[in-house]
Amino acid sequence: MQEIKRDIYLKWLSSKKENGLIKVITGIRRCGKSYLLDPIFKNYLISNGVPEDHIIKIELDREINRKYYRDAAAFDEYIHSLIKDKDMHYIILDEIQMVEGFEFVLNGLLYERNLDIYVTGSNSKFLSSDIITEFRGRGDQIHVRPLSFLEFYSAFGGDKYECWNEYLTYGGMPLILTMKTDAEKSKYLKDLFEYTYFKDIVERNKIKRSDILDAMVNTLASAVGSLTNPQKIYDTFKSNGKKELSLNTVNSYLACLEDSFIVQKALRYDVKGRKYISTPQKYYFSDLGLRNARLNFRQQEETHLMENAIYNELLVRGYNVDIGVVEIREGNKRIQTEVDFVCNMGNQRYYIQSALSLTTPEKTEQESRSLNHIGDNFKKIIIVKDHIKPWRTENGISIIGIINFLLDPESLEKS
């Protein structure tokens, strides 16, 4: 396997070096947070003249460091014992949320002028408003995701279309690239979900009905690309005989799954009315392989998987992403149509549709319908699976292929 390049995150880390803030790196377990810091960022520091013994890394998910989980004072003392002199030291604390009271340790370290601090965590409670308040505005956050297709392809080698099929099936968890057989990849993803993510959620949140949580994950996996909401999920469970279940429990378990970065909720946005619609919404999986593993690799609808891949890529590029709703008048009727993604970053906005192919004028018109009725001058794009040269419809909608979109970080700007 070739080296996995995570340039987008390395660029962020290097730009924030020695800025007096705590660099907070979050992400789902096993997505590559530790690898980003060591060896990628560590090698960057060494190549820029930092002595290796001035880079201090402590991995708090190792058994040897369990003694610090309930003893923040001892942990603070240990860190200080590793500081050799008054020159700059780079402190890397992996899975810091394991230590009770870690925020007080970090605040204390901020007073040391020769310490540049980098911490990782695997759930969003690590970034709760209370903790950020404790940091007194001195936290700088970045969210690391499983490998994007470009990152995956950089280490995969070979044919990019073969790589796309692999990525669509097994996703972008970095260790997948080290495995040779389908059986090995499948087992890894299933075990990762059951023994790492699922177990962590149940234990951390004191989940009493793990059977409900398990069924809920499968429900969300089956509904990728479809509108849903807690009430709909609750009604499904009730119709299946779960009479004792409450709507509050459904909401709570959904929040736990989001908190662990397994799924992310995309809200609906009324493009013309310029307002959010509270429900229904869509849930997308942070990794396609994890989603597929939950369904035993059965429901492999490429339409929905491609939509999920585009959503994840847009987040990697830093866009705020919503599901667009465009109201169309037809005679006396008002019809709500959907734009798959409304993407915003600063003063940039893109409207994006995902479609497997545009084989006929009728299909092109169908996929363009909502885009043609938006009525503003922001760029409208349809991403298709087909290997095509980019082109434009008569109404100025750009058509680009999925591989071109994923492999070129500037594909939206160029389209």
Helix (H, G, I), strand (E, B) or coil at 131: helix
- Segments of 271-319 assigned E as strands: 275-285
Alpha helices in 192-246 (DSSP H): 199-205, 210-222, 230-239
Q: Which CATH number fits domain 7-143: 3.40.50.300, 2.60.40.10, 3.40.50.1110, 1.10.150.20?
A: 3.40.50.300
pLDDT number for residue 43:
96
25 close to 37: Cβ distance less than 8 angstroms: yes
Residues 6 or more apart in contact with residue 283 via CB below 8 angstroms: 220, 223, 224, 228, 263, 264, 265, 266
Whose CA is closest to 56, among 37, 29, 72? 37
Cα–Cα dist 57/119, whole Å? 10
Question: What distance in Å separates the CA atoms of residue 152 and residue 155, rounded to the nearest whole number?
Answer: 6
Q: What are phi and psi of 56, to 5 degrees?
A: -105, 120
Cβ proximity of 31 and 144 under 8 Å: yes
The tokens of 36 are what?
């980003």
Tens of pLDDT, residue by residue over 262-280, are: 999 999 999 999 999 988 9
* pLDDT by position in tens, the chain (length 415): 577 889 999 999 999 999 999 998 989 999 999 999 999 999 999 999 999 999 999 999 899 999 999 999 999 999 999 999 999 999 999 999 899 989 889 989 988 999 999 999 887 777 665 566 666 678 888 899 999 999 999 999 889 999 999 999 999 999 999 999 999 999 999 999 999 999 999 998 999 999 999 999 999 999 998 999 999 999 999 888 887 889 999 999 999 999 999 999 999 999 999 999 988 999 999 999 999 999 999 878 899 999 999 999 999 999 999 999 999 988 888 899 999 999 999 999 999 999 999 989 999 999 999 999 998 999 999 999 988 889 999 999 999 999 999 999 999 999 8
DSSP 406: H
Report phi then psi at 398, rounded to 5: -80, 140
CB atoms within 10 A of CB 386: 14
pLDDT for res 60:
94
3-state secondary structure of 394: coil
List the one residue out of 357, 274, 356 whose CA is nearest residue 322: 274
Quick check: 291 and 311 in contact, CB under 8 A? no
pLDDT in tens, 19-65: 999 998 989 999 999 999 999 999 999 999 999 999 999 999 899 99
pTM to 2 decimal places: 0.94
Token pair, residue 127, equals: 């970034």
What is d(CA 60, CA 38) in angstroms, rounded to the nearest whole number? 14
269 pairs with which residues across the strands? 276, 324
Separation of alpha carbons 238 and 219, rounded Å = 14
Question: Who's near 218: CB < 8 A, 6+ residues apart?
Answer: 294, 295
- How confident is the model at residue 388, as a pLDDT? 85
Q: Among candidates 159, 184, 155, which has minimal Cα distance to 170?
A: 184
What residue has token string 């847009």? 314
Cα-Cα end-to-end distance for the chain: 33
Alpha-carbon span 329 to 336, nearest angstrom: 9
- Cα-Cα-Cα-Cα dihedral of 363, 366, 368, 374, to 10°? 180
pLDDT in tens, 237-268: 988 888 788 999 999 999 999 999 999 999 99
Here the contacts of 388-395 (C-beta below 8 Å, separation 24 or greater) are 390/414, 390/415, 393/364, 393/368, 395/368, 395/371
Pinpoint the residues of the chain covered by CATH 3.40.50.300.
7-143
Q: Please, how many CA atoms are within 13 Å of residue 278, restricted to the half-sphere of its CB?
A: 2
DSSP string, 322-336: EEEEEEEEETTEEEE
Give residue 137's pLDDT.
72
